[in-house]
Amino acid sequence: MRLPGIKHFKADSFLILSFIVPFALYMATLAPSVTFFDSGEFLTATASLGSAHSPGYPLFLMYAKPFTWLPLGNIAFRVNIATAFSSSLACLMVYILTTSILRAEVLLEDRRFNLIAIKCAGLAAALSFGVTPRLWLQSNHDKPYPLLAFICAIIFYLLLRWQEQYREGNERPSYVYICTFMAGLAMAVHQTVVLMLPAWFLILVLTDWRVIFRIKEFILATAFALLGFSVHLYLPIRALSNPLLNWGDSKTVHQFLWHFLRKGYPTEPPVRSMALIWAQIRAFNISREFTWVGVALTLLGLVWLWRKNRTVFIAYLVSAALFLSVIAGYLNTPMEVIFLTEEFFTPLYLLTAVMIGVGLFMLLGFAVRSAQLPEHVGFRVYGVVALLFITLPSALCAVNYYENDQHNNYIAFDYASNSLRSLPQNAIMFTWGDSGAFPLWYLQGIERMRDDVDLPHTPHLVFNWYLDSMPHVFKDSNLRKFDVSSLGPEAALRIAVSENLGFRPVYIDFSTRYSVEFKDFLPIQRGIVYRVRKMNEPSGIPDVSILDNYSNRGIMEKQSFLDLDTGKAIMIYANGYLELGEFLAGINRLQEASVVLAKAEKISPEMRVSADQIRMRYGLGR
């Protein structure tokens, strides 16, 4: 018996559920505004149709832009919806891939039971993928990886269709052309798509190695890939319009290549050790995403593929091996940023979810054969089947919901708005870390908060394209006269501070305060930011009330979404109270100091040791 092909997806309620259920879940847990990491930068680039950090992500920005026209919430919320939508599409493709692979399988003579069993396996795979911690976290705010996974899944599906048609004697080179076109497009979402190319090529070659000698088709496939890749022309075209965020300023071929090839991120590779290599390898962690039950089901699915379609089996293993060898071997990711590479594996997790769906179907097959069911089964059997398939996604959802519920996550928004509110009129504030700077870019550039303030990003002061983007600040700057690219960002910061000090209020953020050694200037605390003054300038008394006037949603109470930078922001608030408490104790305002130190501990219990040391130094009781 052979079940229907692609036509059977029409009016398929299971297919609709594979999209609707994840999308509803993501909308319920969606971040309401800007978050940390690359969020503020992607939001600003999307809204202004500019360019994000290298390599620019043009397709992701163009995909997300129409969502900014939705009459819902702020711009950040709308772009977050775009990611939730692409993640749901990726889940839908898990369903399509799983049911396509299984559609020729027969468990019983009852055709209806076979069809429902296959659809249940596909739905279980889709929902399991949808509630994995990695995809769920990406789905709650603006991320390109779900869109990349969706495109990769389409390519896999078309190649499987091509393989099926080819084995039946039907030539369908158009499938391959569409695949190469979409692979070219995917390069404009994230460059890790190149790690999938060998697997896709293997599907073609292992199906029939003679396809490599079809020169005409090879040339046409290459032409379609270049056509898809041409979406990168967006970067120089938009650069000519000088958008709000124009990272890399790709007006020239040189600047385009600098941007596309990530030349702005020179790094010293860390010293290799077994601990580092193991941590790099563990970035791809199926047990963390799907539990050990998911690992067992993945192995069952691979066993089935080995028997039924070794081409796909080999393609999956080659993909996993290539991702690990490049990310852990070639890139040699430092320990402190390995968490960033975990997102690169999203397309692999999508394929793993398909394996899990196939494994669940195999498990049902064992049960059916052992139970010796009649030719036509009753409702109780369908109930058992539903229970079998819904258990894993339900368990994953229950375990991961709390950690991924970001519907009240205003920490990045409040951190940025509080920083801006701390600044006087016409101030300039230098930032250091991306996560601290990007929410500021969004609030100022898109939400139009504090247009009077300039926010230079210190690591970018060494690039001429960045100085050109702020002509009213750096038009005649000495940064253009020195080789600051060799001197480094710290030297560039000192030059820029010297030029502005005395003409306007100069501030730095927390990351700059503790990333740069200031020998000629003194930073004076003002809430969670710092005013820079000359050595001989009176320091004055810090504004005691400014911290209490901040919006502190999510700071005083425990939050679920404690990613690295959210945790860092909370520590910055706690450190602000700690520093203020120490200062107040030093000028003998002991009662106020005690209150402030208690607030530091309430925000972050980790501050208790430092607070107790201050109390002992100044004779304060608890």
Residues 184 and 121 in one domain: yes
Among 351, 381, 404, identify where a domain stops: 404
Residues 449 and 395 in one domain: no
CA dist., res. 457 & res. 431, Å (int): 5
Q: Are the C-beta atoms of 429 and 439 separated by less than 8 Å? A: no
CA dist., res. 167 & res. 107, Å (int): 24
Q: Give residue 291's region: left, alpha or beta (phi > 0; psi -120 to 50).
A: left
Confidence of residue 2 (pLDDT cuts 50, 70, 90): very low
Domain assignment present for 71: yes
> Which pLDDT score is estimated for 6?
46
Residues 176 and 306 in one domain: yes
Which two tokens mark 185? 């497009």
Q: What share of residues in the chain are helix, strand, coil (percent, to 5)?
A: 65, 5, 30
CA 532, chain centre distance (Å): 34
Which of 503, 504, 528 lies closest to 427, judged by CA?
Answer: 504
Confidence of residue 52 (pLDDT cuts 50, 70, 90): very high
Name 96's Cβ contacts closer than 8 Å, sequence gap at least 6: 9, 15, 122, 153, 157
3-state SS, residue 557: coil
Residues 382 and 458 in one domain: no
Residues 385 and 266 in one domain: yes
Name 272's Cβ contacts closer than 8 Å, sequence gap at least 6: 332
Domain assignment present for 1: no
Residues 351 and 494 in one domain: no
**What b/e string do you get for 551-583 counting C-beta neighbours within 10 Å, with b at 16 or more?**
ebebbeeebebebebbbbbbbbbbbbbbbbbbb
Confidence of residue 82 (pLDDT cuts 50, 70, 90): very high
Identity of the highest mean pLDDT range in 450-454, 554-558, 613-617? 450-454
Residues 388 and 498 in one domain: no
Which two tokens mark 181? 């076109």
Lowest mean pLDDT among 13-22, 104-113, 147-156, 423-432: 104-113
| Radius of gyration (C-alpha) of the chain in whole angstroms | 28
Q: Give residue 428's region: left, alpha or beta (phi > 0; psi -120 to 50).
A: beta
> Which pLDDT score is estimated for 375?
60
Domain assignment present for 278: yes
Which two tokens mark 170? 């039907």
Lowest mean pLDDT among 105-119, 166-180, 493-507: 105-119
Q: Calculate mean pLDDT across residues 303-320.
A: 92
Report whether pLDDT(256) > 50: yes
CA 121, chain centre distance (Å): 28
Full domain range(s) for residue 253: 6-235+247-404
3-state SS, residue 562: coil
Identity of the highest mean pLDDT range in 139-143, 228-232, 610-614? 228-232
pLDDT digits (tens, 9 = 90+) for 435-458: 789 999 999 999 999 999 999 999
Identity of the highest mean pLDDT range in 2-16, 261-275, 300-314, 515-529? 300-314
Q: Calculate mean pLDDT across residues 17-31.
A: 96
Domain assignment present for 330: yes
Report whether pLDDT(359) > 50: yes
Question: What is the residue-wise DSSP string for 253-293?
Answer: HHHHHHHHTTTT---PPPPP-HHHHHHHHTTS-HHHHHHHH
Domains: count for the chain: 2
Question: What is the residue-wise DSSP string for 415-472?
Answer: HHHHHHHTSPTT-EEEB-SHHHHHHHHHHHHTS---TT-B--BGGGTT-HHHHHH-HH
Among 374, 404, 434, identify where a domain stops: 404
Confidence of residue 11 (pLDDT cuts 50, 70, 90): low
Domain assignment present for 324: yes
Question: What is the residue-wise DSSP string for 389-409?
Answer: HHHHHHHHHHHHHHHH--TT-
pLDDT digits (tens, 9 = 90+) for 208-237: 888 888 888 889 999 999 999 999 999 999
Percent over 70 (pLDDT), the chain: 93
Question: What is the residue-wise DSSP string for 155-223?
Answer: HHHHHHHHHHHHHTT---HHHHHHHHHHHHHHTTT-GGGGGGHHHHHHHHHHH-GGGGG-HHHHHHHHH
Q: How far from 185 is each of 111, 234, 315, CA to CA, in Å?
A: 40, 12, 21
Residues 351 and 466 in one domain: no
CA 195, chain centre distance (Å): 18
Confidence of residue 350 (pLDDT cuts 50, 70, 90): very high
pLDDT digits (tens, 9 = 90+) for 500-518: 888 899 999 988 988 888 8
* Angle at the Cα of 44 from the Cα atoms of 40 and 48, rounded to 5 degrees: 170
User: Across the strands, what pairs with 529?
Assistant: 509, 526
Residues 196 and 343 in one domain: yes
Evaluated on CA atoms 331, 337, 339, 343, the torsion sign reads negative
Average pLDDT, the chain: 88
DSSP 606: G
Which two tokens mark 248? 């890399």
* Angle at the Cα of 489 from the Cα atoms of 486 and 493, rounded to 5 degrees: 125
Report whether pLDDT(91) > 70: yes
Residues 438 and 395 in one domain: no
Give the strand pairing for 521-526 and 529-534. Answer: antiparallel
Query: 471 vs 378, which has greater pLDDT?
Result: 471
Report whether pLDDT(330) > 80: no
CA dist., res. 8 & res. 20, Å (int): 19
0.85 exceeded by the pTM?
yes
Domain assignment present for 202: yes
Among 375, 404, 433, identify where a domain stops: 404
> Which pLDDT score is estimated for 266?
65
Residues 368 and 450 in one domain: no
Confidence of residue 4 (pLDDT cuts 50, 70, 90): very low
**What b/e string do you get for 436-446 counting C-beta neighbours within 10 Å, with b at 16 or more?**
bbbbbbbbbbb
> Which pLDDT score is estimated for 347?
95
Helix (H) or strand (E) holding 75: helix 75-102
What does the CA dihedral 174, 178, 180, 183 come to, rounded to 10 degrees?
Answer: -160
Q: Calculate mean pLDDT across residues 264-285.
A: 80
> Which pLDDT score is estimated for 388?
83
Q: What are phi and psi of 71, to 5 degrees?
A: -85, 50
Domain assignment present for 513: yes
Residues 505 and 365 in one domain: no
Domain assignment present for 240: no
